[in-house]
Amino acid sequence: MVENKMKSFVPEAGTCIPWKIKKEEFGVLAGNEEIVKSSWEMLDALAYAFIWFWVQR
Amino acid sequence: MSKEALSKAMAELEEEQVIALVKELLGSGVAPLEIVKALQEGMVEVGNRFERGDYFLSELVMAGEIMKGAMDILEPHLAGESTEHKGTIVIGTVRGDIHDLGKNIVVMLLKGAGYKVVDLGVDVPKEKFVEAVKETGAPLVGMSVLLTSCQGALKETIEALRAEGLNPKVIIGGNYVNETVKKHVGADYFATTASDGLKAAAEVFGA
Amino acid sequence: MSDKEKLFQERFKRYTVALECGKPDKVPVVFPLGEWVVKYTNTTLQEAYYNVDKSNEIIGDVIRDLDFDVMFGAINLWWPPMFDGMDCKLYKFPGIYFEENSGFQYVEEEYMKAEDYDEFIANPTQWLATKYLPRICGEFAEPGSYRATVALIKGAAAFAMHNDKLTKTGEKWAKEYGIVSATTGMTKAPFDTLGDALRGTKGILLDLRRRPDKVLAACEAIVPHNIAYAMITAAGDTSLPCFAPLHKGAYPFLSLEHWQKYYWPSWKAVIEGLWALGKRTFFFAEGDWTPYLEKIAELPDKSIVFCIDLTDAKKAKKVLGGRFCLYGGVPTTLLTYGTPEEVKDCVKRAIDELGGDGGFVLAAGGVVMSDAKRENIVAMIEAAREYGVY
Ligand code: B12
C-alpha cells in the first residue's frame, strides 16, 4: 500500500506537505527542479491557507 | 459556620470546595434552600468584585460553571420546595444578534440577587418576548443587543409588547446603547453594565 | 500615468505616511464599507452576499463621487456558496436559514474538545484538516467518501475563485477610483484563534483555570502559523498593514494578570514576527482596550496601527501617540443616530484631539453594519476634507 511509503512529519507553518518531503518521494528529478518546486510551494501555500481559513475567521 | 464557608468558597471560585461543602451540608440535613441562599450570597460577592474591577469575564464564567455544578446536585432536593423570589424578569438577546456573554452575566447576577429570571436565549423573535411576558406577567423585561444593526429589533420588540397592551418596564443593555438609543427604541432604562440592570430591577421591584 | 493612478499614488502616500506616524498633506480618511450600502438599493442582502459582482456594482455607485483615501470593511468577507458547498456550520446566511434581508450569524460551539489539545498542539495543520473540518462541515461526515471528496473540490475551487475576485476588485478600486485598501492579509491573536473558532469563549475561559498549561502551549504552537497565514493571505505584500480583528483581549474578558500571561506573549510574538518581515499589524482593537495600553506600548515603534473603538481615545493618544499610528475617531453609533451636523462636529473634534501632529487616520471605530446612514458617512468624509488639511 501507498501509505506505508509515506513518512509522517509535522509540516512547518505555511506548508502542508513541504517540498523536501515530496522531493524525497519523487527521487531524482530529470528536468528543472526549481520550476517544479516553486509551483509545488505555491499550491501548497494555497492549500495551507484554505485549511487555516476555517479557524482564522 | 459551614454556610458562610460555602458563600466564601463560591466568591473565591474554589470549585472543589464548593461541591464538597454542598454535599456536606446536604448530608448534615441543612435545608436545600438555605444552601442555595448561601451560594447566591457568594454570587452577589462575585458580582460586586466584577463591578469593582477585581473580577473579569473569565471569573464570571467560572462562577457560573461552579454554580451550575452545585445546582445539579441540589435540584433533585429542591423539587416541591417553593423558592421565594423578589419577582420575575424576562430577558433575551434580540432577533438577529447572537452575542450572549453580557446577557448571561446579567442573568447570573439577577439570579444571585434573588430574582426569578426567564432567559429566552439569543436571536429571540419579538413574538417570543410577547409570549413570555404574557405567560409570566413579568413587570421587567431585559433586552440585550450588541450589534448596532439589531437595535432596530429592540424597537420592533418593544412596539410589539405595547401593541399587545403589555406594559412591563423595559431595560436595554449592551456596549453601544445610550440615552439616544433608549429614546429611539422607546425603552425605560438603558444599561452598559450589569449593575445598571440590578439598579433598575431594584427600582422596579422596590427591593 | 492616468489621473486615477496619480490620485492613487497621492492617497497611498497620505495613508502610509500617517501609518509611519508622519504628517501627510491631509488627514487620511477611511470609507467604512458594510451592509448599509445595500439598503439604499432594491437588492437584497442575500443577493449581495452571494453575488459579488452585484455588490461591487452597488459599491461602485456609492463611492464614485466621494473623495476619500482608504476603504475598510467588506460585504463579501464570507462568500456563502463556499460554505453551502461544504455544508459548513460556522455561519448561517440569509437564503437557507434566514429571510433575504437578514444579516448572517456565527454559530459558536466547542468545535475543539478539551481532550483534543495534545493532538492539536503536536500537529496543528494536520489536526485541522483531519479532525476540525469534518466536525464543522456536514458534507465531510465521512472523510474520503464520494460526498466528502466532491465537497472538498467545491470548497477549494470556491476559495480560489473568491480570492481571485477579491484581488481583482481591489485592483479595480485602485485603478478606476484611485482607492487604497486599508489592509492586506489577515491574522489573529493566537488566543483568539484558539478561543473564537476552536474552544469557544466559554471553553477557553474555563481552560484558564482547568488546563492553563494547554492554553499556553496551544497559543505558542499557533504563533508561527499566524505569522505564515498573514504573509500568505497578503500575497507577500508589506506596504500595507495586516488586518487583525481582536476579541478576547478586550476589557473585561481577562484580568490584567491573565491578559499578561495568556493573551499577550503569543500575540506580541506574532506582531514582532511580522514586523521583522517588514509587515505592520492593523491592531483592530474591538471594544475597550484602555487597561492594556501601557503593555501595548511595549511593541516596537510603528509596528502597529491602533484602532480606537471603545478605548479611551485621549488615553490612547497619550500612551501610544507619536510612536504608533492611531485610527478611528467616529463612534459607529453616531453614524446611525447622529445627524450630519453632529458627525461633522465629531470629525472636527477628533482631528483636533487625535490628529494634530500626524500619525492619525480618521475612520469609524468599529465595524459599520446595515444600520449606518449614508448621509452621515458622506458628512464624515466631507468634514475630513474640510478640517483635515495640515
Ligand atoms: C465576543 C464577540 C463575539 C462572539 C460572541 C460570542 C457570544 N457567545 O456572545 C462571536 C465571535 C460569535 C461574535 C460574532 C459576531 N460579531 Co462580535 N463581538 C464580540 C466582542 C469581541 C465582545 C462582546 C462581549 O461579549 N463583551 C463582553 C461582555 C461582558 O460585555 P457586553 O456584551 O457589553 O455586556 C455588558 C454590558 O453591555 C451589559 N449588558 C449587556 N446586555 C445586557 C442586557 C441587560 C438587560 C442589561 C441590564 C445589561 C446588559 O452588561 C454586561 C456586563 O457588564 C465585541 C467587541 C467588544 N469587545 O465589545 C464584538 C462585536 C460586538 N461584534 C461585532 C460583529 C460585527 C460581529 C459579527 C457580525 C462579525 C463576524 N465577523 O462574525 C458576528 C455577529 C454574529 C451575530 N449575528 O450576532 C461588532 C459589532 C459592530 C456593530 N456595529 O455593532 C463588535 C462591536 C466588534 C467591533 N468592534 O466591530 N462576536
Is A4 a member of any domain? no
Residues B70 and B109 in one domain: no
Quick one: what percent of chain B has pLDDT higher than 70? 97
Do C120 and C218 form a contact (C-beta atoms < 8 A)? yes
Do C123 and A15 form a contact (C-beta atoms < 8 A)? no
**Ligand 1 in contact with B47 (CB < 6 A)?**
no
Residue B77 has pLDDT above 90, yes or no: no
Residues B166 and B95 in one domain: yes
Q: To the nearest 10°, the Cα dihedral for C253, C257, C258, C263?
A: 90
| Cell digits of residue B121 | 436565549
Nearest CA in chain C to A13: C225
Average pLDDT of chain C? 95
Is A8 a member of any domain? no
Eight-state DSSP code of residue C235: T
What local confidence, expressed as pLDDT, does residue A2 receive? 47
For ligand 1, atom 28, the nearest C-alpha belongs to B102
State mean pLDDT over C335-345: 95
**Look-up of cell digits 439598503:** C39
Is A24 a member of any domain? yes
Strongest mean pLDDT among B57-71, C164-178, C214-228:
C214-228
Instruction: Provide the number of structural domains found in chain B.
Output: 2
Considering B81, B109, B125, which residue would you say is the last residue of a domain? Answer: B81
Contact C193 A55 (CB under 8 A): yes
Q: What is the pLDDT of residues C135-154, one digit of tens each?
A: 999 999 999 999 999 999 99
What local confidence, expressed as pLDDT, does residue C60 receive? 93
In b/e form, how buried is each residue of C201-234, taking b as 16+ CB within 10 angstroms? bbbbbbbbbeeeebbbbbbebbbbbbbbbbbbbb
Is A49 a member of any domain? yes
Residue B35 has pLDDT above 50, yes or no: yes
Domain residues for the domain of A49 are 14-53
Relative to beta strand C91-92, strand C105-106 is antiparallel
A25 Cα distance to chain centroid: 11
ipTM (interface pTM): 0.95
Residue C378 has pLDDT above 90, yes or no: yes
State mean pLDDT over B19-42: 92
Considering B81, B116, B150, which residue would you say is the last residue of a domain? Answer: B81
Instruction: Provide the number of structural domains found in chain C.
Output: 1
What local confidence, expressed as pLDDT, does residue B108 receive? 86
**If 0-12 CB within 10 Å is exposed, 13-18 middle and 19+ buried, where does residue A28 land?**
exposed
Residue numbers in C near A15 (CB within 8 A): 125
Instruction: Provide the number of structural domains found in chain A.
Output: 1
Task: Write the secondary structure of chain B as one string of H (helix), E (strand) and C (coil).
Answer: CHHHHHHHHHHCCCHHHHHHHHHHHHHCCCCHHHHHHHHHHHHHHHHHHHHHCCCCHHHHHHHHHHHHHHHHHHHHHHCCCCCCCCCEEEEEEECCCCCCHHHHHHHHHHHHCCCEEEECCCCECHHHHHHHHHHHCCCEEEEECCCHHHHHHHHHHHHHHHHCCCCCEEEEECCCCCHHHHHHHCCCEEECCHHHHHHHHHHHHCC
- Testing ligand 1's pocket by substitution, the residue of B146, B185, B190, B195 carrying the most ligand atoms inside 8 A of its CB is B146
Rounded Cα distance, B115 and B127, in Å: 23
Domain residues for the domain of B93 are 88-205
**Look-up of cell digits 514582532:** C272
| C37 or A7, higher pLDDT | C37
Is A1 a member of any domain? no
What letter represents residue C253's amino acid?
F
- Testing ligand 1's pocket by substitution, the residue of C367, C368, C369 carrying the most ligand atoms inside 8 A of its CB is C367
Domain residues for the domain of C171 are 3-387
Contact C232 A14 (CB under 8 A): yes
Could you tell me the pTM of the whole model?
0.92
Residues B100 and B200 in one domain: yes
Q: Is B148 on the interface with C (CB under 8 A)?
A: yes
Give the CATH number for residue B162. Answer: 3.40.50.280
> Which of C90, C125, C229 has its CB closest to that of A16?
C125
| Cell digits of residue C52 | 459579488
Average pLDDT of chain B? 92
Strongest mean pLDDT among B60-64, B191-195, C189-193:
C189-193
3-state secondary structure of C360: strand
Q: What is the pLDDT of residues C7-62, one digit of tens each?
A: 999 999 999 999 999 999 999 999 999 999 998 999 999 999 999 999 999 999 99
Q: Is B65 on the interface with C (CB under 8 A)?
A: yes
What local confidence, expressed as pLDDT, does residue B80 receive? 67
Give the CATH number for residue B63. Answer: 1.10.1240.10
Chains interfacing with C (3 or more CB pairs < 8 Å): A, B
What local confidence, expressed as pLDDT, does residue B81 receive? 67
Residues B65 and B166 in one domain: no
**Look-up of cell digits 506600548:** C297
Question: Confidence class of residue B82 from pLDDT cuts 50, 70 and 90?
Answer: low
To which H or E segment does residue C149 belong? helix C146-177
Q: What is the pLDDT of residues B110-139, one digit of tens each?
A: 988 889 999 999 999 999 999 999 999 999
C71 beta partners: C31, C181
Is A9 a member of any domain? no
Give the CATH number for residue C49. Answer: 3.20.20.210
Contact A56 C106 (CB under 8 A): no
**Ligand 1 in contact with B32 (CB < 6 A)?**
no
